[in-house]
C-alpha cells in the first residue's frame, strides 16, 4: 500500500458517514480542537485565519455602507431580559449565569450575552434624543454564548464568535431598507467570497428571531443535503424601542419610537464552507478565504535540488509581493506525493510544482485542488496566471455547489410526497404552505424538515398547502437543517 | 461670552482636577459611555476605532515575527486554576463565576478568563509532543474579566479587551529571547505609533505576573506624573509546563518540560494615550491612531460657499485616495470657530481650512492640534504636505511627552527625600533598592509609590537602598501608578 493510499483512507468517505467525514476533516486539517469545557472549541490558527479573512471582508463592506464598530459589555443584567417578552422566552433556556464575582454573591444575576439587543437597546435609549441622532449604524464583533444541548464544531458551539449589527432609524421604511441592504451584503459576501450559493427569503413566524417583526435569511445547502442558515437580518419594528424606551423627537416635534434592525453572521460560516466544498480527500477552501492560497513544491532529484529551491524562492517572492498568500514546502525528508496529498487534504486551492525540466523551459505547473486540472504556465507570467487560476477555481467551486444544490432541489405537492422523497434523498423541497403554524409543525414532526425560508424568487409558485391542501399563502423551502 | 469660550470651559482644567479632566474629555469626545454593569464600559465608535488601528499595527508586527492568531474558550474550569499555586492566589479574588447554565446548576464552576495561561497550557499539553512541534507561537485577541474594586474607564475596567501571546519553546534561552523580542515590539509600537515614550525594565518579584519567573514591562508617565504599565512580557519558565504537564521529546530523545512566555497589551493603552497627550482643550490623538487624521473645514461668506465646498470635496478625494483618514465638515448652521473647537476637543491632529482667497491662490491652511502652528501649503502638493505635517505632529507629540517625563523624573537617595519630593510634585523617582520586599512595602505604605520597574538603562546607578541604607542591588523607578 502506497503512502498516498494510507493517507487518504484516514478520512471517512462522505457517503459512508457525513458527520464522521466532517469531524475527520476539521481535526486532520488542524482547524480546531475540542476544549475541556462542554460545547466550546479552540479555533486553531488555520481555522482562525479563515475567520480573520471573513472579518476583513465583512468589515470593508460594513464600513463602506456607513457602519462603525463598537464594543458593548458581555454581561447583561437579568432584568434586561424580562423587558421584551418574546426575547426572554427565546433565549432564557440557553443562558449561562454569573452569580458570584470578586468573592461575593451578586445582587442581580448577570447573563452572558447570547446576543446584545437588550444591552444595546438600553444604551441607545441614552444616546438617541432627536432625529438628528439618527440613524445609528453600529456593528460589534464579539463572543456570544448559547448553552446548546447538542453541539457540533463551528456549526453549533456554546461559545462562538460573530458580528452583530444594531441600527436605529426614524421610519419603518428606512429600517426595512437597512434590513434588506445587510441581507444583500451577506448574500454577495457568501456567494462571491465563500463560493456558496444561497437562497434569500423571509423566515416563517415560528422560525423568526425572538423579538423580531420579520427575519430574513440566506440558506445554504450542505453536501449531505441539509440546510445551514448562513446569515440573518431582522427588522425588529419598535419592539425593542418600546421595551427599552428608545424615543426621539421627530422632525415634526413629536416623541416617536425608533425602528431598529439587527443582523449577524458567525463562525458557523466556517463549518458551512467546509460542508459545502469538502470532498473525500479533505478540505477544499475557497481561494479568497484560504490561509494558504498557493503551495509551492519543488521536485526532482537531489543533484538539482538546490537550484530548483533557489528558483522556487525567487518565484515565491514575486507571488508574495503581489499579495498572494503563498507558502513553500521544501522539506527533503518528505516525498512530493505525500506533500500533494497533505495540501489537498488541507484544502489549499492551488499547487505549484517546479522541477528541473520546468526550469529549463521557464515554466511551472499549476494544479487545481477542486478539478485536478494541470496547467503548464510561463514563469515570466506567473502572477497573472496564478491570479487567473485562483479566480477560475472560485468560479468552479461556486458552479459545482450550485449544480449540487439544483440536483438536490425538488418541488413537492403533498406531505406524503415529501416524506417519500426525503427518505430517498435529503435536499431542499419547495412546497406550498397555508401559513398555519400547525401545518408547519406537522411537516417537522413527520419528516424532520423545517421551513427554511420563503424565497424571494421561488422557481415555481405552489397553489395548495402540502399539509392541509388548503390555499397556499406562500411557497416555502423545507429541509432538514443544522 | 462667545460660543468658543463656553465650549472650552466645559472641560475641567488638568491642574484643577486631573481625574475630572480625564472623565470630561473621554465623555465629551464620545469615546465611551458607562454601562449598567459595574465597572464595564461601552467602547463607542471613536473609542473603538482607536483600538482597531492598534490591533492592525500589532497584528502586523506579531505576524511578521511568525506568530499566528487563534481563539480559546473564555470559560475556565475551576480546577485549572488550582494547578499553578501563585496563579490562583493572584487571580482568585478577581474572578467572576458561572454557576448555572442552560437551566441547570453546573457540576464544576466556570471562571471567566482573567488571562488564559491555564486553558492554553492545557491545550498545549495535548499539541506538543516533540521538539518538531516547537516553538508554538500563538496570540489571541479577546475580552477578559477582572472584577476590580475601583475602576476607571479604559485604564481599569471589569471587562476589557486585550491580546495575549502565549508561546512555548525548547530552551530557556529561546523563551527569554521571545520575551525580550515582544517587549521590544511593544516599546517600538507604543513609541512610534502612540508617541508615548516608555521605560523598559524588569518588574521586582512582588510586582511580577502571578506565576511568572520574570516579568518585564514598559512604563509610561501620565500628565499627572503617575505611571501606567503599558505592556508586559513574561518569562514563565517551566512553571505552567509543570502545572499542565507540557512535555516534549527533545533532540536528545529525553522528555523535557517546555519553557513558556506570555505577553499582552490591552485597551488601557487608550486611556494612557489620552492621559499622556491630552490638554485643557481636550483630546490630542497621535496621528497614526486617530480615527480622523485631517478635518477639512470650508470657510468664507455664503456667496462663495458652493465653490469652496466643491474644491474641498476634490481635495478630500485626493487625500482619501492617498490613504489618509479625512473628513469634511461643511455644515452651514455651525460657525467655523465652533467647529475648530469641536475638533480640537476631539483631538483631530490636523485641521485644513479652505477659504475663497486660498482658492484664488491655490493654497490651503493646515493647523496642528498640538502646537497650533499654521502652515500655508500649495494645493498642488497637498498629499505630501499633509503626510509631512502628520509625521511632524507625531514627532512633536513624542518630544513633548518625553520632555514632560524628563522634567518630572528625579533621583532620590532616601525615603524621606522621596516623601518630601512626592508631596511637592508627582513623577518618577529613581532610587537604589536592596532587593527586600519589606523595603519595597515600606516605600509603598509611606509614599503610595510602587516600584515600577528596574530599568535596563537607568540614567544613574544608585549604591544604597533608599529605605534601609544597605547596599543597593538594583536601581528602581518608583511612582504612583494607575
pLDDT in tens, A97-110: 999 999 999 999 99
Tell me the nearest-neighbour CA distance from A137 into chain B, angstroms.
10
Mutation site, A49, A56, A73, A125, interface B, largest B CB count within 10 A: A73
Torsion of CA A167, A170, A175, A181, to 10 degrees: -80
Nearest to A477, CA basis, from A298, A220, A271: A220
- Contact call for residues B209 and B192 (beta carbons, < 8 A): no
Question: Per-residue pLDDT averaged across B135-164, rounded?
Answer: 96
pLDDT tens string B338-375: 999 999 999 999 999 999 999 999 999 999 999 999 99
Mutation site, A72, A163, A270, interface B, largest B CB count within 10 A: A72
Domain B409-479 has CATH 1.10.10.60: no
- Contact call for residues A147 and A39 (beta carbons, < 8 A): yes
A294-392: which CATH number, 3.40.50.1970, 3.40.50.800, 3.40.30.10, 3.30.565.10? 3.40.50.800
Say yes or no: ipTM exceeds 0.90.
yes
Question: Per-residue pLDDT averaged across A403-432, rounded?
Answer: 95
β-bridge partners, A451: A478
Tell me the nearest-neighbour CA distance from B442 into chain A, angstroms.
27
- Contact call for residues B415 and B443 (beta carbons, < 8 A): yes
β-bridge partners, B56: none
- Of all residues in chain B, the one with the smallest CA distance to A149 is B102
Angle subtended at Cα A184 by Cα A181 and Cα A186, rounded to the nearest 5 degrees: 115
Is residue A321 classed as helix, strand or coil in its secondary structure?
helix
Do the chains contact at A101 and B123, CB–CB below 8 Å?
A: no
Question: Per-residue pLDDT averaged across B130-139, rounded?
Answer: 98
pLDDT tens string A438-456: 999 999 999 999 999 999 9
CA B276 to CA B256: how far, in whole Å?
45
CA A458 to CA A455: how far, in whole Å?
5
Which residues of chain B are within 8 Å of residue A88 when distances are taken between CB atoms?
none
Nearest to A113, CA basis, from A69, A158, A151, A70: A158
Confidence of residue A480 (pLDDT cuts 50, 70, 90): very high
Q: Pairing relation of β-strands A294-298 and A326-328?
A: parallel
What is the maximum span of chain A, computed from C-alpha positions, in angstroms? 85
β-bridge partners, A454: A202
Question: Per-residue pLDDT averaged across B250-279, rounded?
Answer: 98
Report the topology of domain B3-277. Answer: BirA Bifunctional Protein; domain 2 (3.30.930)
| Residue keyed to cell 492617498 | B322
Is residue A368 classed as helix, strand or coil in its secondary structure?
strand
Residue partners of B407: CB distance under 8 A and separation at least 6: none
CA B199 to CA B451: how far, in whole Å?
13
Question: Per-residue pLDDT averaged across B119-147, rounded?
Answer: 97
How many residues are given for chain A? 482
Is residue B211 classed as helix, strand or coil in its secondary structure?
coil
- Of all residues in chain A, the one with the smallest CA distance to B146 is A102
Nearest to B126, CA basis, from B237, B245, B239: B245
CA B478 to CA B412: how far, in whole Å?
10
Name the architecture of domain B294-390: 3-Layer(aba) Sandwich (3.40)
Confidence of residue B9 (pLDDT cuts 50, 70, 90): low
Q: Pairing relation of β-strands B227-237 and B259-266?
A: antiparallel
Domain ranges within chain B, ordered by starting residue: 3-277, 294-390, 409-479
Do the chains contact at B44 and A70, CB–CB below 8 Å?
A: yes
- Of all residues in chain B, the one with the smallest CA distance to A108 is B37
Residue partners of B44: CB distance under 8 A and separation at least 6: A70, B30, B31, B32, B33
CA A66 to CA A137: how far, in whole Å?
7
CA B480 to CA B482: how far, in whole Å?
7
What percentage of chain B reaches a pLDDT higher than 90? Answer: 94
Is residue A279 classed as helix, strand or coil in its secondary structure?
strand
Amino acid at each position: 500500500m502506497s503512502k498516498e493510499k494510507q493517507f487518504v483512507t484516514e478520512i471517512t468517505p462522505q457517503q459512508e458517514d457525513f458527520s464522521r467525514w466532517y469531524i475527520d476533516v476539521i481535526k486532520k486539517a488542524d482547524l480546531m480542537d475540542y476544549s475541556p469545557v462542554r460545547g466550546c472549541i479552540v479555533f486553531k490558527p488555520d481555522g482562525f485565519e479563515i475567520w480573520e479573512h471573513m472579518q476583513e471582508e465583512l468589515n470593508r463592506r460594513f464600513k463602506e455602507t456607513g457602519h462603525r464598530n463598537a464594543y458593548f459589555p458581555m454581561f447583561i443584567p437579568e432584568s434586561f431580559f424580562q423587558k421584551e417578552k418574546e426575547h426572554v422566552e427565546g433565549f432564557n433556556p440557553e443562558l449561562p449565569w454569573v452569580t458570584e464575582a470578586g468573592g461575593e454573591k451578586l445582587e442581580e444575576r448577570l447573563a452572558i450575552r447570547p446576543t446584545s439587543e437588550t444591552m444595546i437597546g438600553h444604551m441607545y435609549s441614552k444616546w438617541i434624543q432627536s432625529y438628528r441622532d439618527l440613524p445609528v449604524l453600529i456593528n460589534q464583533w464579539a463572543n456570544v454564548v448559547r448553552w446548546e444541548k447538542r453541539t457540533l464544531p463551528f456549526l453549533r458551539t456554546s461559545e462562538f464568535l460573530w458580528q452583530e449589527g444594531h441600527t436605529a432609524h426614524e421610519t419603518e421604511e428606512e429600517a426595512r431598507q437597512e434590513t434588506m441592504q445587510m441581507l444583500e451584503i451577506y448574500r454577495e459576501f457568501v456567494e462571491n467570497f465563500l463560493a456558496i450559493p444561497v437562497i434569500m427569503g423571509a423566515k416563517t413566524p415560528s422560525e423568526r428571531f425572538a423579538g423580531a417583526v420579520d427575519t430574513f435569511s440566506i440558506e445554504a445547502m450542505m453536501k449531505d443535503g441539509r440546510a445551514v442558515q448562513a446569515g440573518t437580518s431582522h427588522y425588529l419594528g419598535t419592539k425593542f424601542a418600546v421595551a427599552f424606551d428608545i424615543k426621539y423627537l421627530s422632525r415634526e416635534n413629536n416623541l416617536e419610537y425608533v425602528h431598529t434592525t439587527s443582523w449577524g453572521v458567525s463562525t458557523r460560516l466556517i463549518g458551512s464552507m467546509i460542508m459545502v466544498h469538502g470532498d473525500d480527500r479533505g478540505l477544499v477552501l475557497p481561494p479568497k478565504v484560504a490561509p494558504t492560497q498557493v503551495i509551492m513544491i519543488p521536485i526532482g532529484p537531489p543533484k538539482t535540488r538546490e537550484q530548483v529551491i533557489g528558483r522556487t524562492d525567487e518565484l515565491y517572492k514575486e507571488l508574495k509581493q503581489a499579495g498572494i498568500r503563498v507558502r513553500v514546502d521544501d522539506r527533503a525528508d518528505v516525498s512530493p506525493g505525500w506533500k500533494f496529498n497533505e495540501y489537498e487534504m488541507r484544502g489549499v486551492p492551488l499547487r505549484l510544482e517546479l522541477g528541473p525540466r520546468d526550469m529549463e523551459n521557464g515554466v511551472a505547473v499549476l494544479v487545481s485542488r477542486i478539478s485536478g486540472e494541470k496547467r503548464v504556465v510561463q514563469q515570466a507570467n506567473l502572477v497573472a496566471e496564478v491570479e487567473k487560476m485562483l479566480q477560475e477555481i472560485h468560479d468552479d467551486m461556486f458552479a459545482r455547489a450550485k449544480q449540487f444544490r439544483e440536483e438536490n432541489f425538488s418541488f413537492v405537492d403533498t406531505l406524503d410526497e415529501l416524506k417519500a422523497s426525503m427518505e430517498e434523498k435529503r435536499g431542499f423541497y419547495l412546497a406550498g404552505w397555508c401559513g398555519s403554524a400547525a401545518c408547519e409543525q406537522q411537516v417537522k414532526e413527520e419528516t424532520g424538515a423545517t421551513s427554511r425560508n420563503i424565497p424571494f424568487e421561488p422557481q415555481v409558485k405552489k397553489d395548495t398547502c402540502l399539509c392541509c391542501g388548503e390555499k397556499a399563502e406562500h411557497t416555502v423551502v423545507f429541509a432538514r437543517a443544522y
